[in-house]
Amino acid sequence: MTSNSHPAVAQMYLDDLYVGQRFTSGSYQMEEADMVRFAAEFDPQPFHLDRRAAETSVFRGLAASGWHTAAVAMRLLVTGGLPLAEGVIGLGGEIAWPKPTYPGDVLHLESEVAAITPSRSKPDRAVVTVRGTMLNQDQEAVYILTAKLLVSRRPA
Amino acid sequence: MTSNSHPAVAQMYLDDLYVGQRFTSGSYQMEEADMVRFAAEFDPQPFHLDRRAAETSVFRGLAASGWHTAAVAMRLLVTGGLPLAEGVIGLGGEIAWPKPTYPGDVLHLESEVAAITPSRSKPDRAVVTVRGTMLNQDQEAVYILTAKLLVSRRPA
């Protein structure tokens, strides 16, 4: 298991990745004010904006927009959770929110390289599939991301 | 084809949905300042933050974080693009960013009900699969979302 705090792997290229390789991000605490601000801009639904309205919703309490949770996961990947030298560049993937995210939750992301598919047309690149699970402080999965990333070899 | 501006379908329940049903959202213009602000908070990579750095990147210009594009798509769904009475509640899905989003792009979302799968345990609910394509002003797809949504029947 490789940790993102390992200095030898601080900036990785395709050459450094292998299937089964794991990474653990830092952590991020969800603040109610940030949740409401994000929701007001991008997902203005009562259960993301108003505590009282949220109590009788399917979430049974104020919950973060799933897209806020997804954005926080990206922040965790980019700030050490997946130390790719040329950045985390996603082509797409699959997402799921098995549980809601609530105010005060402390989230971190555990990721694993699931597949490496070399490009046929550009031999210096590959599509790397990374499966990440974001856990809260009770080790419950709140977000699962299987992302296809564009990764390049180390420049000659 | 059903438009979200049709008053008779302003607030829809499961009873009102059918496979093949289509919706068109309003539009949203991407502003450079918003793109940089979003990226600074959630996706702080040079090609999302700095014009000059972005020019030599795979994006060939300052590009929105894919998660910003995704969040804008949610805003378009929630603000009329998918008029569900009890809200747009996603369980997960698939996403893809076939092209970058650039400053000034004017985006809108075209969606279609792809499948309706009744819940076995809760007969008043179903998982509704909606496929949405977000297009820019040149009718290029910049984001494709296939979302599994939780939708309830009209209350008795």
Task: Note the pLDDT tens digit of each residue in B9-45.
Answer: 468 999 999 999 999 999 999 999 999 999 999 999 9
The SS3 of residue B120 is: coil
Subunit contact B58:A88, Cβ cutoff 8 A: no
Q: Inter-chain contact B72–A42, Cβ cutoff 8 Å?
A: yes
Those of residues 102-141 in B touching chain A at CB distance below 8 A are none
| pLDDT(A6) > 60 | no
Q: A113: distance to nearest CA of chain B, Å?
A: 19
- Say yes or no for a CB contact (<8 Å) between A87 and B47: yes
Query: CB distance B87–A41 less than 8 Å?
Result: no
B37 to chain A, closest Cα gap in Å: 12
Q: Does position B1 have pLDDT exceeding 60, yes or no?
A: no
What strands lie across the sheet with B125-135, from one edge to the other? A22-29, A106-118, A125-135, A141-152, A90-96, B90-96, B141-152, B125-135, B106-118, B22-29
pLDDT over 70 percentage in chain A: 94
Check whether A3 has a pLDDT greater than 50.
no
Query: What ipTM is given for this predicted complex?
Result: 0.92
User: What token pair was written down for A46?
Assistant: 């009562």
Residue A72: its chain B contacts at CB < 8 A? 42
Picking from B84, B89, B142, B150 by the largest number of A CB atoms within 10 A of its own CB, the best residue to mutate is: B89
Q: For A115-131, how does the pLDDT look when each residue is reduced to its tens digit (9 = 90+)? A: 999 999 998 999 999 99
B43 in contact with chain A, both atoms CB, cutoff 8 A: yes
Instruction: Answer whether B15's CB lies under 8 Å from B126's CB.
Output: no
Chain A residues with CB under 8 Å of B92 CB are 94-97, 144
- A35 min Cα distance to partner chain B (Å): 13
User: Are the C-beta atoms of B54 and B61 separated by less than 8 Å?
Assistant: yes
Question: A50 touching B, CB under 8 A?
Answer: no
Select from A30, A95, A149 the residue whose CB has the most chain B CBs within 10 Å, as the one to mutate to test that interface: A95
Are A66 and B90 within 8 A, CB to CB? yes
Rounded-to-integer distance, Cα A143 and Cα A127, Å: 22
Measured CA to CA, the distance from residue B134 to residue B140 in angstroms comes to: 8
Which pTM was predicted?
A: 0.93
B30 and B99 Cβ atoms separated by less than 8 Å: no
- For A61, A87, A124, B20, B50, the CA distances from B53, given in Å and listed in that order, are 42, 12, 21, 43, 5
